[in-house]
Every structure is written in structure tokens, then in C-alpha cells.
A and B are shown apart, each in its own frame.
Chain A
Amino acid sequence: MGAETATLENSRQATSTRPPLQGARAMLGRPGAGIFIFLVVLLIVMGFWSPVILGTGNLIGILNQMVFILIPTFGLTLVIIAGGLDLSVGSVLGLTGGIAAYLIAHGTSMPVAFAGAILCGAAIGLVNGLVITRLRVPDFVATLAMLGVVRGALYVWTHAVPIRNYMSKPYFVIGGLRMVLWKVSVPLMVALVLLLILAFILRRTHYGVHLRATGSNPDAAKLSGINPDQVKVVTYIASGVLAAITGILLAGRLTTVHPDMGSGYELNAIAAAVMGGAALSGGRGSFYGALIGAVTLTVIQNAINILNIDPNWEHVIIGAIILFAVLIDRGALALAGRQASAH
């Protein structure tokens, strides 16, 4: 049973804050290692097919484009590690982007508008967390309901009319339409900073240990003095905030907020998180894995573009990769496990 091995693996990691590095093979046990190898192979094959794909400009383009999937994937990775699931991120992303755009269009200063959007994202996350932990509504059901409520609220509020006329010079920079540092967009920088912070929290802080413990075994976590409900609520708030940050950035990127902005992003983000080694059974996941998952999804879209493949293949390929990513991850884990037991 893959899920059980994964949980064991993680409880082992959870007990020692710093897992000892045992060479290259031990790295295989890390979530996302399998998909990383897959990504490298994919890039090499693509490179032979069309060298344009491996050009610096194109690679940075892929990274700049991937951000809008990556940041919600961070949120989902957090929630999934704690043993939950958040289907509402796509809707939250749309609503908060709309709020930021609307406030700016109506004369609010940019920082205040952004703060408003982020607060709204946090509030929605808080409601998700409380409904799930206090009212004991299953994660899937609660966030599915929130998906509908938030998307509906955005449509009712805007009367399905897109929000425009909020772009300004700094917002072009924030949305990544104008670069300040070589070809690296501001959204990409934001994502990388978030990656470092989140990876640090997961690996080096008490909260990170509590998070993995909660996801691996909430009862055991409770007995060892952790408040699993509190840990979970925090992950939902974080997921809401990360969705709001994405909404703000995406509003800048698209220069118009359509009321269906971000719909369906939750499934892409879940796919990226899982490709990155997050286990829906909880306790296992990694932010670097999330990065690799999001890059893989975007590389595929990019390759379809550049290689002139019928764009209708996109869903077929992504579906197949979701199915096989888990197997690749498990294969890598099995290799690492064999190595560990040999010691």
C-alpha cells in the first residue's frame, strides 16, 4: 500500500527535524523526486525535437507563465499535507482579484486595495477552516460549497460585467507585463520568495512538524499535545491568502477581471500538487515538488504550442501524466526504500 509507506516515511521524517542525507538515492524518497526526473527527461526529449524549447527566453517564459498555477498549488500543498482539500481556490482567486481591481478602479490606493483582497481571501479560508473543524463538515463538501458560493457572489456582485480601467504603471509591473529585472517577472519573484518561506516553515519550524503530524495521524498528533484543528484552520487561511495573492497578480496580468477568472484552477492546482508528491491521504508533500509539478504542467502546454501539436491533445496528455505521476513518485519511493533497508 503506497499510502501507508508514504505515511511511515513521513512520520520518520517528522520525528527527526532534519532527515540525514544518504546520498543521491535518499533524495529519491523526497516527494516530487520522481516527477523531477520525468521533467528532465521530458525537457531533453523536447529539446531534441525543437531546440527553441530549451532557449533561455522560452524557459523563463515558462516560469513566468507557471506562477499563476504555482501559488495556488502552494496553498493546496499546505492543505493536503494537513490531510484536507481545498476546492475553493479558483473561485477565491477570481473574487479577490475582482475586489482588488474594483477598489483600484474606484480610487483606492494600491496597497489598501491589495490588503482588502488578501483580507477577503483570509476570511474565506477562515470560514472554510471553521466549517470543517467546528461543524465537522467534510473538507470536500465544505470547500465545494464555498466554490459555488464565492463564484456566485462574484457574478451577482459584478452582474457578470468584467471589471476594467484599473491598470496603472506599477500594476503592469506587478502583473508581470513589464519587467524590472531582466526577463524575470514580479509574480515569479513573489512565487520564489513564497517558496523559500513556505519550505522553511515546513522543514525548520515547529508548525511544519505539527502540520505533517496532523496530516499523518490527527489522533496521535492530538495525544502529543498538538491542536490538529488549529493547524488545519491555519492551512485553510493560508490557502485563501495564497489564492488572493494569485488573484491580485493575475488581475494585473490580464488587465481585465472577467467573472469567470480562475475557474477550474483548483483542479490544475490539485494536479500539480499531486504530481509534486503530495499524498491526498495527508502527511506527505513538498513545496519544491509543487514547483516541479507546476513547471511540468506548463512545459506541456508550452511544448504543444511550440511543436504545433493540435491543442486538443493538451487534456489527454495532462490526464495521462496525472495518472502516471503517482506511479513515478511511488517507483522513486520504492527505490529509495530499498536503499534505506539495505543500510
Chain B
Amino acid sequence: MSISSQPEISVNTNPGRRAVSVRKLLEIEGATVFAALILLVAFSSAFAPGFLSPGNLTNVLVQSVFVVILGIGMTFVLVAGGIDLSVGSTMGLAAALTIYSINHAIPVPLAILIGLASGAAVGLFNSYFIMVLKMADFIVTLGTLSLVRGIVELMTANSRLTTQSEAFGFLTGGTILGVPMAVLLAAAVVVGGGLTLAKTAMGRRTYAVGLNAASSYLAGVRVRRVRVGVYVASGTLAALAGILLGSRLSSAHPALGTGYELTAIAAAAIGGTSLAGGRGSVLGTILGALLLGVLQNSLSLLQVNAFWFQIITGLMIVAAVLLDGAIRRMLRARPSQ
């Protein structure tokens, strides 16, 4: 997490120690995404009119919150060697349930808890099929994607769920000391998720299960518990993202959250998380999500056809994976002095 020490400058000003510092830089997970993000921000500040205005920067942050939160859950699942395609639908379910509860005179905090619990329930459902019935993660979560989306459609199709609740709107509309509430919540998730994955025994077990489930089982890791845990975490975080999106829209529509699963996976992949399991970091995923958010924002400020976003995102995903592989090969080929 020592990214914030801005090591870029030492590369240029100190050519004598160049090789060593570049190497140290590259060893930091997420360094390349960080560099790409800095470049993109510099480019946008120079060319995109109004990019640096506080209003726009706040907007970028609030827009990125959903992918950041989803991406952290996805990082846990991917690091443990799984994949969760159901998060977009879970967002819709949690938003619909929360707004439904608020409309039925349930206090807002309790309604939010109900929404979060529905996400955890989807996670439990996924892990039951994956762990107990031993089905492939991809298939199970593809099934839940459809199943949960159908439930959302049943809930919202005939009566669009809207709410005027101010307390609920405060989740995204309100600010504390000038910082939007949604950004604060996301920051809390980032710190909690990042520390759990990087610094706790639970985090180490997650990596171990993703690297080799069989040998971590032999080493005494409760593999099942870890994998149930990551799916419940992913479901709950998806629910949080959905509740925030519902609060921002002050409504839940049948397609709320559709397609977000692929954006979350893209953010994780750009941030250096391996889809084969065992590698990845919360920090990388956040940088990947911010990169996508800034890109989308500056393209619209530059009035570039919005559809270029998809093309550039696709190319960036492949470039990130290739660069990551190349750097690791280089580091392996030239071990440090």
C-alpha cells in the first residue's frame, strides 16, 4: 500500500539508481495501473474542459463508488479462485427490497439491513450450490444471475418502486464535511476489505485457497468456510452497491445493476487480479475502477462518441493482463541483486 509515496520522480531525477528503483516500483502490486491512472488524469486535466473542477471530480468519485464496492467483493471471490456473475442482479434485488421495505413503513436503517441481508442470502445460495452440490462457480452464478434478475423483474415490473425518503436519499445525496456520504461508505469498505485481504489470517487463507485448494486443505485451512465467506462478502457488498444506486436514483427499475458484473470483473482484471485465483489486491481493483471511471468521464467531457469507452476498456483489459505477465516474467528472469 506504499503507492502513495509517489515514487515516479525518483526514476527521472536519479538515473544512476534507475534500474533498482524501477524494479522496486514494478514489484509493488498495482504500480502500473497507478501510473496509467496518473497519465490519464494528467491527460484529462490538460485536454478535457472542466475535468479538474471540484464538481466534476466529485461526480467521478460518486460514479465510481458502485464499481469500487462491487470490485472489492469480486476481488475476494477471484482471489479465492471463484467467479461471481450474480452481483449485478443482486444489486437490483437489494435496491428493490430496500425501497419496498421503506415504502411499507419500515425504518430506513432496518430496510437497509434487509437489503444487505438479501445480498448475503444470495451469497449463501451460491456457495451452497458450489460447495455442497459441487457445481462450477461460473454456472451457479450464471443461474443466479438469471434467477435473481427474474425476481427483481417480478418485483418491479408492474409497479415501479420509487421513494421520497430523505434519509434514504442522504446515502448518496448527503455530505459529511463536504465529502459525499457514498464516497465515505466506499472508503470504509476499501479500508476494511483491503486490510482484511492483505493483513489478516483470513486474507492469507483466501490467497491459499485460490492458489491450491487441495494443499491448503491439507495444511489445515477450512476451504469450505473461506469459499462460503467470499461469496457472502461478494453478495453483501453487491447489495450495498445496489442500495447506493437505488438511493441515487430514488427508485428501483427492473434492469437496475444489469451488466455491472462484467464491469466489476474488468476493474479487477485491469487492477492485476488473476482469474485463475491466488493473485490480486483490493488496491489494484480500486485503481482499475477509478481508471474506468475517469476514462468514461473524460470521454464524455471531450464529447467523444461514448461507444469508444467499450473499445478502450476491452483493449485496456488485455493490455493490463499482458503487461502484468511481462513484468512478472522480467522480475523472475532478473532476480534482485
* Chain A residues near B (Cβ < 8 Å): 1-3, 85, 131, 135-138, 140-142, 144-149, 151-153, 155-156, 159-160, 267, 270-271, 274, 279-281, 310, 312-320, 322-323, 326-327
Contacts and interface: CB of A to CB of B under 8 A. Distances in A.
A2 B129 CA distance: 13
B321 A156 contact: no
Interface string B304-334: 0101111111110110011001000000000
Given A149-B314, A312-B157, A319 B150 contact: yes
Given A271-B142, A326-B135, 16 more contacts: A136-B325, A142-B318, A144-B266, A145-B315, A148-B313, A152-B308, A160-B307, A271-B146, A274-B142, A280-B139, A319-B144, A319-B146, A319-B148, A322-B143, A323-B139, A323-B140
A281 B136 CA distance: 8
B276 interface: yes
Contacts, number: 132
Interface residues of B, number: 45
Nearest to B83: A140
Given A131-B318, A312-B154, A152 B310 contact: yes
Given A138-B275, A313-B150, A319-B145, A280 B136 contact: yes
A152 B317 CA distance: 14
Interface of B: 83, 129, 133-136, 138-140, 142-151, 153-154, 157, 254, 262, 265-266, 269, 274-276, 305, 307-315, 317-318, 321-322, 325
A116 B54 CA distance: 49
B321 A137 contact: yes
Contact of A319 (B147, B254, B317, B325): B147
B141 to A, nearest CB: 10
B291 to A, nearest CB: 14
A155 B139 contact: no
Contacts of A141: 269, 275, 317-318, 321
A151 to B, nearest CB: 6
Contacts of A312: 150, 153-154, 157, 254
A267 B314 CA distance: 18
A152 to B, nearest CB: 3
29 contacts: A3-B134, A138-B274, A138-B275, A138-B276, A138-B321, A140-B83, A144-B262, A144-B266, A145-B314, A147-B262, A147-B314, A148-B313, A148-B317, A152-B311, A155-B307, A155-B310, A156-B307, A267-B142, A271-B143, A271-B146, A281-B136, A312-B150, A312-B153, A318-B150, A319-B144, A320-B147, A322-B139, A322-B146, A327-B135
